[in-house]
């Protein structure tokens, strides 16, 4: 089920607290395993992914986008997440759909960042084939654990992140863990690095996907404590399970 919703970005602290209180608790381990337990069975094979008339080839180990990834892709493509003329970072870029969309729409610069070197190489190859050399856009493929390898000069207008924050270990395979269930800590470090390194432009925006297969309240609460104000842009549910996925827009509290 799709639930498009938006809170007032100038809402009071009481309203923000009410939002946090309204978020669902993390699902029990058994439910998380039922939802995610078999989702990465083909991760060590070569696959293809089709989106917006583009075909992407995925070598083994590269994440294949699912429903939550497409929430971001669709909103980049339709302009809900505006990137034209802006500095954009696709965190956990995987096969590179977000980078291709941003380049096609005329972002000023595109950081295609991932901790996995093969993913960055795959994203760069797809960008070169589908977008090519555009004078108005600087493409920056970057192997980086979150923002560790970003230049000190980076000031980002838009950041998107669909983190592998599932709270329960769904596999002993390190490739599956990297793509699915690192846990909440990766998102807490994401917020902390943005703040410590002052990576977000004054009017910059973070777009974050988190579901209740992760520690949803803890993650969003940490973002609030780090100085960001969350807005719920979209809530997605699915028939047959209790998973709820949220697309949050977060802006700096002093910019609200």
Q: What is the pTM of this model?
A: 0.94
Q: What is d(CA 73, CA 161) in angstroms, rounded to the nearest whole number? A: 11
Which residue carries 């863990």 as its tokens?
A: 177
Say whether 51 sits in a helix, a strand or coil. Answer: strand
pLDDT band for position 200 (50/70/90)?
very high
Beta carbons within 8 Å of 234's beta carbon, 6+ residues apart: 2, 3, 4, 5, 71, 75, 246, 247
Helices marked H in the chain: 13-22, 29-36, 67-77, 97-104, 117-130, 174-180, 185-196, 216-225
CA dihedral (83, 85, 87, 92) in degrees, to 10, reads 30
Residue 236: strand pairing partners: 2, 245
Q: Are 145 and 115 in contact (CB under 8 A)?
A: yes
- Confidence at residue 11, expressed as pLDDT on a 0 to 100 scale: 58
Chain center to CA of 79: 16
Average pLDDT of the segment spanning 138-144: 98
Say whether 118 sits in a helix, a strand or coil. Answer: helix
Beta carbons within 8 Å of 253's beta carbon, 6+ residues apart: 227, 228, 229
The pLDDT of residue 231 is above 90:
yes
pLDDT band for position 14 (50/70/90)?
confident
Tens digit of each residue's pLDDT (9 = 90 or more) over 29-86: 999 999 986 668 899 999 999 999 999 999 999 999 999 999 999 999 999 999 999 9
Q: Are 81 and 73 in contact (CB under 8 A)?
A: no
Find the largest Cα–Cα distance for the chain. Answer: 51
The CA angle 111-112-114, to the nearest 5 degrees, is 125
Share of the chain above pLDDT 90, in %: 89
Q: Are 49 and 64 in contact (CB under 8 A)?
A: yes
Of 36, 39, 38, 67, the closest CA to residue 241 belongs to: 36
Q: Are 187 and 165 in contact (CB under 8 A)?
A: yes
203, with CB counted inside 10 A (0-12, 13-18, 19+), is exposed
Average pLDDT, the chain: 93
């Amino acid at each position: 089920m799709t639930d498009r919703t938006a809170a007032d970005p100038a809402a009071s602290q009481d309203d923000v607290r009410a939002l946090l209180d309204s978020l669902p608790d993390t699902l029990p381990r058994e439910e998380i395993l039922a939802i995610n337990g078999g989702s990465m069975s083909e991760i060590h094979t070569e696959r293809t992914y089709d989106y917006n008339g583009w075909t992407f080839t995925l070598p083994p180990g590269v994440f294949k986008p699912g429903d939550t990834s497409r929430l971001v892709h669709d909103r980049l493509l339709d302009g809900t997440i505006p990137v034209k003329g802006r500095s954009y970072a696709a965190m956990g870029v995987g096969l590179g759909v977000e980078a291709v969309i941003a380049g096609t729409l005329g972002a000023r610069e595109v950081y295609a960042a991932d901790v996995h070197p093969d993913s960055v190489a795959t994203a760069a190859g797809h960008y070169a084939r589908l977008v090519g050399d555009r004078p108005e856009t600087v493409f920056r493929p970057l192997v980086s654990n979150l923002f560790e390898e970003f230049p000190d000069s980076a000031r980002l207008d838009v950041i998107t992140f669909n983190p592998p924050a599932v709270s329960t270990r769904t596999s002993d395979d390190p490739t599956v863990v990297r793509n699915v269930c690192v846990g909440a800590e990766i998102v807490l470090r994401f917020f902390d690095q943005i703040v410590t390194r002052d990576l977000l432009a004054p009017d910059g925006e973070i777009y974050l996907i988190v579901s209740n297969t992760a520690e949803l309240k803890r993650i969003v609460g940490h973002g609030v404590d780090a100085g960001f104000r969350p807005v719920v842009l979209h809530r997605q549910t699915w028939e047959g399970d209790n998973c709820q996925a949220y697309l949050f827009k977060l802006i700096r509290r002093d910019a609200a």
